[in-house]
Amino acid sequence: EAQVTQNPRYLITVTGKKLTVTCSQNMNHEYMSWYRQDPGLGLRQIYYSMNVEVTDKGDVPEGYKVSRKEKRNFPLILESPSPNQTSLYFCASSRDRVGGYTFGSGTRLTVV
């Protein structure tokens, strides 16, 4: 089954404790992206990647890092999480410019 897999689905952590949210797609898509969703603000792009070793900042990259060492994986790293990073996070992938975007199931992160 073609899918984007995110883990974990839910995470509660403490301020300053490094964490990684994993994202993997099995569709051989070149493009991958991370979004965060906050009430009243909609979805905002954090980082994106056009291909292996090619990543760039989206609209809200502060406090996040990403890497794209393999085509299928695009982990999101929070080096020192803060409470304002409490949000619902989505990973998405797309075959190309005109294709639809497939989203992962989301990761609900709470930073206390």
Partner 1 sequence: AQKITQTQPGMFVQEKEAVTLDCTYDTSDQSYGLFWYKQPSSGEMIFLIYQGSYDEQNATEGRYSLNFQKARKSANLVISASQLGDSAMYFCAMREGARSNYQLIWGAGTKLIIKP
Q: Interface with partner 1 includes 101 (CB under 8 A)?
A: yes
Angle at the Cα of 75 from the Cα atoms of 69 and 41, rounded to 5 degrees: 135
The phi and psi torsions of 14 (rounded to 5 degrees) equal: -105, 155
Closest CA to 21 of 102, 85, 99: 85
Contact with partner 1 (CB under 8 A): which of 43, 61, 67, 110?
43
> Residue 111: which residues within 8 A CB-CB, separation 6 or more?
13, 14, 15, 81, 82, 83, 84, 85, 86
Question: How many residues contact partner 1, by CB under 8 A?
Answer: 27
- Distance in Å, CB of 4 to partner 1, minimum: 10
Query: Which residues, numbered 20-39, are part of the site for partner 1 (CB under 8 A)?
Result: 31, 33, 35
Query: Which residues, numbered 49-78, are part of the site for partner 1 (CB under 8 A)?
Result: 50, 56, 58-59
Q: Interface with partner 1 includes 105 (CB under 8 A)?
A: yes
Closest CA to 91 of 81, 109, 82, 79: 109
Contacts with partner 1, residue ranges (CB under 8 A): 31, 33, 35, 40, 42-45, 48, 50, 56, 58-59, 88, 90, 92, 94, 97-98, 100-106, 108
